[in-house]
Amino acid sequence: MKISKRVRRGYALVLALLLALPCLTLMQTQAADAVEVDRKCNLTVSVEGNYDKAFEADLSEMQIPVALYRVASVDVSGRYTGVGSWASMKFDSISGETKADNWTTLAQEAYELIGDGQPDAEEKIEKTQGALASAKFTDLDTGMYLVVPETSFNTDYSYEYTFTPYLTALPGNAFAQTGAGDDSWNYEPVIGLKAERAQQEGTLLINKTLDTYNETLGAVTCVFRVEGHDDAGNAVYSNVISATLEGAGNTETVRLNGIPAGIRVTVTEIYAGSNYQVVGPDTVETVIVSKEALENVDGASEASVSFTNAYNGGNRGGYGVTNQFNLDENGLWDWTTDLQE
């Protein structure tokens, strides 16, 4: 039986409609409208997030370089295809049911494929007057992007901030990517950072000078207590250290390493030595400076305090004992002493 041209055209039309149904269904389940694939997008990366006040204050004052890598293209139905170095990646499983762990795994895979590739865009997150620190990228092609913030330090280099690379889609669609929220394409999304921080360490120098000295009594041992507090007033460091001197005009310097950077320490001379007394203040405060600050901040120097002692005319024998306190792996203070039994 012969089929007329009109009937064949009818079959062709029905077949075309049947083939289009899966795409139409995908579009309707992921977003109300088709993606305008040729439209340019803007992306704002902000420091806004669920951080404590100190954390947020640091991020708001920092400059954080951010690089964007376009790792996939997107079609009108919101499906992604890897491009360039990421052509081998499988983005077809992304949907509203994709779990956070799966997104993290994809982002890590994309990050490992960067190699010597150059970013498609670079900006710095920084604060503008009356707003949170942010970076705005403009004139971006649609697709999937890997967001890579660079490891950075806060303004006094007391904390190092590291950021988890992550994926974001342009345009964004809350419902298509999370299964909840607005079911429309957003061509100017605002996203946050995924940050962690580690406190840096610094050194404290305690300088002790003997103004006058009784040679008959021999060496003099002085003992200092060091207490450190953070900006909230919490005790975060405690230690005791000694210095032994002999000879008028002699200065001895003792060094304490591994002190949390940025904290304010109070150094008190709690024992001036038998027959000696402190000349001037017996308590001095200073702020611990990290080694990174010493390398990057003009004029930065190690935290240092100075004390002077003088012979008071006495003739008593005596000795000094140093007790040392260090935090163990459980966050408890471990006490040691140089007293010999």
Q: What is the pLDDT of residues 221-268, one digit of tens each?
A: 999 999 999 988 899 999 999 999 888 888 999 999 999 999 999 999
Task: Tokens for 157, please give them.
Answer: 């280099």
Q: What is the pLDDT of residue 121?
A: 97
Cβ neighbourhood burial of 1 (10 Å; 0-12, 13-18, 19+)? exposed
Per-residue pLDDT at 2 exceeds 70: no
pLDDT category at 27 given cuts 50, 70, 90 is very low
35 vs 12, higher pLDDT? 35
With left for phi above 0 and alpha for psi between -120 and 50, is residue 157 left, alpha or beta? Answer: left
Q: What is the pLDDT of residue 216?
A: 84
319 vs 214, higher pLDDT? 214
Strands 190-191 and 41-46: parallel
Distance CA 164, CA 159 (A): 16
Q: What is the pLDDT of residue 316?
A: 57
pLDDT category at 4 given cuts 50, 70, 90 is very low
**CB neighbours (10 Å) of residue 267?**
25
Distance CA 34, CA 46 (A): 28
Q: What is the pLDDT of residue 292?
A: 95
93-102, 129-138, 250-259, 311-320: which range is least confident on average? Answer: 311-320
23-27, 171-175, 312-316: which range is least confident on average? Answer: 23-27
Strands 220-229 and 264-271: antiparallel
Per-residue pLDDT at 339 exceeds 50: no
Q: What is the pLDDT of residue 136?
A: 95
Q: What is the mean pLDDT of the chain?
A: 83
pLDDT category at 143 given cuts 50, 70, 90 is very high
Q: What is the pLDDT of residues 169-184, one digit of tens each?
A: 999 887 666 666 777 8
pLDDT category at 26 given cuts 50, 70, 90 is very low
Q: What is the pLDDT of residue 25?
A: 35
Q: How far is CA 89 from CA 55, 94, 110, in A?
A: 35, 12, 8
% of the chain beyond a pLDDT of 90:
57
Q: What is the pLDDT of residues 37-95, one digit of tens each?
A: 999 999 999 987 777 777 888 888 899 999 999 999 999 988 999 999 999 998 877 76
Cβ neighbourhood burial of 111 (10 Å; 0-12, 13-18, 19+)? middle
